[in-house]
Amino acid sequence: MKRVYNFAAGPSALPIEVLKKASDEMLSYGDAGMSVMEMSHRSASFKNILQEAKSLYKELMNVPDNYEILFLQGGASTQFSMIPLNLLSKSNKCDFMITGSWAKKAYQEAKRYGEAKVIASSEDKTFTYIPKVDSKDFTLDADFFHICVNNTIYGTRFKPDGLPETGNVPLIGDMSSNILSEVYDVSKFGLIYAGAQKNMGPAGVTAVIIRKDLIGHAKDFTPIMLNYKTHVDSDSCYNTPPCYSIYVCKLVYEWVKANGGVKGMEAINKEKSQKLYNFIDNSKLFKGTVVPEDRSLMNVPFITGSDELDALFVKESKKSGMENLKGHRSVGGMRASIYNAMPMAGIDTLIDFMKKFETENA
Ligand SMILES: *Cc1c(COP(=O)(O)O)cnc(C)c1O
């Protein structure tokens, strides 16, 4: 069977061990005699899967006890609405840093419900850097401060030690594309959310880590399905949860744990991304698009400077067993998304191909 190196930004590659385990358990999960897809979400088997997923995620992320973990639907995009609906409960004000398209979408949605302020934006330079901010400019009584921790499209990130200092204002982090990739201190956040389909599992589930004091203050008109309290009170089973996606996330958590936890992932991710960035920095043909100090470990955009060569690169790389290297339509060029499931051999294959392409085309 042929497997390619899949550099897609999302949905993206899953660890081969996870796919094999899912395949082994497809016809019968344990002795249940049925697949997880066919199971009642009220069954003992599924309850176990959900509790294991939750406790593994809690362990991997080192989530303190004063937080709840939820597995929700509607993708990360639904969080753009849930966060303002649930958290704009006192001053009705919130702060945003606009570091890419996702951050901007979150801001635009929050503006519909409250007074949303842009503290800083890097749109002036097509989001190629993380703006420096001064906490003097933050809204003192804001109900929350939102950042997109890793910018999937543009390839920048807030480093774990470079988060804005928001004091008592809850910091909200969209970690859809860098969850479980590097150690972040959950206690610095009021809420962390991540759509699973980048670095955590299949599409269809969004994991939310929310501090308990932020639950239960939703606006009166909040739809019941968009109220965090609904899902906390029913342990993510108010209605049918995305059972199979949660199950595959559980398998991914087991895989991450068996491979050194988030710390282990971080070490290998730094090695993988450094190798690729080093090659790009020393290349005569390829150029990175982002300032070095804010580079993502997960999404690596690069260009040749020629649209024709970029197109040729994408076309030829397919023939060498690499898929989805075409850059996002708003940036152009190429983007290699190198999530946890991308092995070092995939990076080596890409670099070897880039070397060859450079020799032939520079
Ligand atoms: C992909 C992505 C989203 C949107 O996720 P959906 O699950 O498709 O709604 C939001 N934020 C970031 C950082 C993303 O990478």
pLDDT in tens, 15-52: 999 999 999 999 999 999 999 999 999 999 999 999 99
> Which atom, in ligand 1's list, is nearest to the CA of 77?
9
Ligand 1 centroid – CA 32 distance (Å): 34
Q: What percent of the chain has pLDDT over 70?
A: 100
CA 92 to centroid of ligand 1, rounded, Å: 25
Q: pLDDT (tens digit, 9 = 90+) per residue, 199-213?
A: 999 999 999 999 999
Q: Report pLDDT for 151.
A: 98
Identified catalytic residue from 54, 58, 102, 294: 102
171, pLDDT greater than 90: yes
Q: Which of 71, 97, 102 to mutate to test the pocket of ligand 1 (most atoms within 8 A of CB)?
A: 102
What integer pLDDT is reported at residue 1 of this predicted model? Answer: 82
- pLDDT tier, 150 (very low <50, low <70, confident <90, very high otherwise): very high
Q: Please determine, for residue 331, whether its predicted confidence score (pLDDT) is greater than 90.
A: no
The answer to whether the bond into 301 is cis (omega within 30° of 0) is no
Q: Is any atom of ligand 1 closer than 6 Å to the C-beta of 102?
A: yes
For the chain, what's the residue count?
A: 362
> Can you give the pTM of this predicted structure?
0.98
Is the model's pLDDT at 117 over the cut of 90?
Answer: yes
pLDDT tens-digit map of 293-307: 999 999 999 999 999
pLDDT of 362 reads 80
Q: Note if 255 is an active site residue.
A: no
Question: Is any ligand 1 atom within 6 A of the Cβ of residue 342?
Answer: no
Q: Which of 143, 174, 294, 310 is catalytic?
A: 174
Q: Which residue has the tokens 């809690």?
A: 58
- CA 75 – ligand 1 centroid, Å: 7
Ligand 1 atom closest to 75 (CA): 7
Please give the structure tokens belonging to residue 3. 């497997």
Quote the distance between the C-alpha of residue 216 and its chain's center. 26
72 ligand 1 Cβ < 6 A: no
pLDDT per residue over 48-75, tens digit each? 999 999 999 999 999 999 999 999 999 9
Nearest partner of 299 among 118, 175, 163, 171, judged by Cα:
175
Average pLDDT, integer, range 257-265? 98
Average pLDDT over residues 321-338: 95
Alpha-carbon span 88 to 69, nearest angstrom: 20
Q: How far is the CA of 195 from the centre of ligand 1 (A)?
A: 6
Query: In the prediction, which pLDDT does 59 show?
Result: 98
Ligand 1 contact via 204 beta carbon (within 6 Å): no
Provide the pLDDT for residue 316: 97
Tokens 């397919």 belong to residue:
318
Average pLDDT estimate for 122-143: 97
Cβ pair 184, 155 in contact under 8 A: no
